[in-house]
Structure 1
Amino acid sequence: MITRIDLNADMGESFGPWPMGADAALLQVITSANIACGFHAGDPDVMAQAMAVAVENGVGIGAHPGLPDLQGFGRRRMQIAAAEARHLVAYQLGAAQAMARMAGGQVRHLKLHGALANMAAEDEALARACYEGALAVDPEIIVMVISGTAQARAAQALGARIAHEIFADRAYTEDGLLMDRRLPGAVIHDADEVCARIIAMLKAGAIITAQGTHLPAEIDTICLHGDTAGAVALAQALHAALTGEGVSLKPFDGPRAP
């Protein structure tokens, strides 16, 4: 049984007068926040507010770069060259660093968003380009990767500091990738189901697919999506379930890959 874990959430996804998620409430529960950098969601004011509240609550701040697709919320795939990926990630990380400093904090980690993350989970060359962009800006940044995917292999090959992530509210395919959101059962809303499957994964040290297959995996952090319906209640339930099992909730250390 894994006895120490980080609980992270994607947030900072409102834009101007259009609200999304419940950042302030989630930041009372989680230990790491992945904050949108303005390309797929968010804007400077939203970033500043989310980061200020994160600092107040001692929550680790992460940059959450995505594809330049506000209308599609960064969840529509697009073709992108390696150089573009490096620059896209470096640009958004720089913005996150600036806003974090204004809030009296710093960016500890980086996590790719949406379609960019899914593409990088399948394509090691793309993942490597993204992480090269981040490491060029900050060689000490912790790269949050989807455990067991091309993201993890790319970060390891670069010798980066790594945090391996699993998802509380998303179902997995047999190859360890996230199930397409358009498929039935891909997004899990029931709190009891979420808590039971996460406890089972931590006990097994494995990702458990929708078919029940156990895929051994490194697990450092658990993700909840801030835009999922009932995200706050889900986070609170998972927090309670984990602590009830004797699991300590703390930000990850992000050891460097061997």
Structure 2
Amino acid sequence: MTEHIDFNCDLGEGCGDDAAIVPCISSASIACGGHAGSEQSMREAVELCRAHGVAVGAHPSFVDREHFGRRELSMSPAAIHVLVTAQTRRLLAVCEQASVRLRHVKPHGALYNRAARDRDVADAVVAAVHALDPQLFVYALAGSELVHAARARGLQVAEEVFAERGYTAQGRLVPRGQPGDVIESVNAAMAQVRTMLRDGQVEAVGGGRVPIHADTLCLHGDRDDAAAFARALHETLRAEGFNIAAPGDHA
């Protein structure tokens, strides 16, 4: 039986070669005004995705362009619900104008990490998603509180792993700025991807392996070498016999 994996990347952030990345991926999370993004960049990213048959998702975040949404802000779950709703609606309006269906929501950066560990925040995110469209997928860090919250709400979930991020012994991402946070070598990233997809495990930065489940594989689009990384990952996945398809497209 053919094995399937979604390959996703963040787009519309104003710092990557989106046009070179899109042909390599099956789904995209588009910045919608928090850490990056404007109506124009959203339109351009949606059109790119439509041209290449790539599933479109929203990438809401803390409103903090100075730190690219990677600094945690003190916000209540209720305020986060409003934030996720407002940003996702912005992209939803662009999608409707382009006759493109919004397929998923994936929080960005510090909001993603907070929802991964804080059940109240995770519940706020999934409540916002469910109210917008209960058919939307939630992309969430594998094994996290956001996965559990989305399933409890009855939403479809894609458990996410990262090609070029380091993992802790608890299966969480190594915080940015700490040793082992980012994998710079393409070959090392390929080795991590193979281990995650074939063995259902990931090597922790401090040693040892951690169980992990992967429905979708993420590459960060703001890397300087993101386009080359995307091509290498795409070729590796195909060579390993995987069908690259967005969640729901291989059912």
Alignment TM class, shorter chain as reference: over 0.9
Matched-pair identity in %: 39
State the distance in 2 between where 1:183 and 1:217 align. 22
* Structure 1 vs Structure 2 CA RMSD: 1.6
| Structure 2 equivalent of residue 10 of structure 1 | 10
Q: CA deviation at 1:213?
A: 2.8
CA contact (8 A) 2:196 2:213 kept: no
- Which range moves more in the overlay, 182-191 or 44-53? 182-191
Q: Distance in 2 between matches of 1:225 and 1:3?
A: 23
Q: Is the 8 A contact 2:196 2:212 kept in 1?
A: no
> Could you tell me whether the CA contact under 8 Å between 2:169 and 2:209 is conserved in 1?
no
CA shift for structure 1 position 116: 0.4
Equivalent pairs counted in the alignment come to 250
Secondary structure at the residue paired with 2:210? strand
CA distance in 1, matches of 2:95, 2:189: 31
Pairwise CA distance, 1:254: 8.7
Higher helix share: 2
Contact 2:8/2:216 (<8 A) preserved:
yes
SS across alignment from 2:6: strand
The answer as to whether partners of 1:189 and 1:229 remain within 8 angstroms in 2 is no
Q: Which runs of 5+ in 1 are unaligned?
A: 15-19
**What is the 5 A alignment of 1:93-242?**
93-242=88-237
- Contact 1:8/1:222 (<8 A) preserved: yes
Give 1:124 shift: 1.1
| Stretch of structure 1 that moved more, 201-210 or 220-229 | 201-210
Alignment match, 1:17: none
Corresponding position of 2:64: 69
**SS of residue paired to 1:28:** helix
Maintained 8 Å contact 1:2/1:203:
no
Per-residue deviation, 1:3: 1.9
The gaps in structure 2 that reach 5 residues or longer are: none
Aligned AA (1:106): R
Displacement after TM superposition at 1:123 (Å): 0.5
User: What are the Cα deviations for residues 136-188 of structure 1, in whole angstroms up to 9, with x where unaligned?
Assistant: 11111100111011111111211211111000010001111110110132111
Give the counterpart letter for 2:73 in structure 1.
Answer: M
Q: Shift in Å at residue 109 of structure 1?
A: 0.3
Task: Write the distance in 2 (CA, Å) between the matches of 1:203 and 1:101.
Answer: 38
Q: Residue 2 of structure 2 contacts residue 243 of structure 2 at CA under 8 Å; is this kept in 1?
A: no
1:142/1:254 contact within 8 Å kept: no
State how far apart, in whole Å, the 1-side matches of 2:44 and 2:128 are: 26
Following superposition, which runs of at least 4 residues in structure 1 exceed 2 angstroms of deviation? 211-218
User: Residue 196 of structure 1 aligns to a residue in which SS?
Assistant: helix
**Which residue pairs with 1:45 in the alignment?**
40
User: In the aligned structure 2, how far is the partner of 1:21 from the partner of 1:58?
Assistant: 20
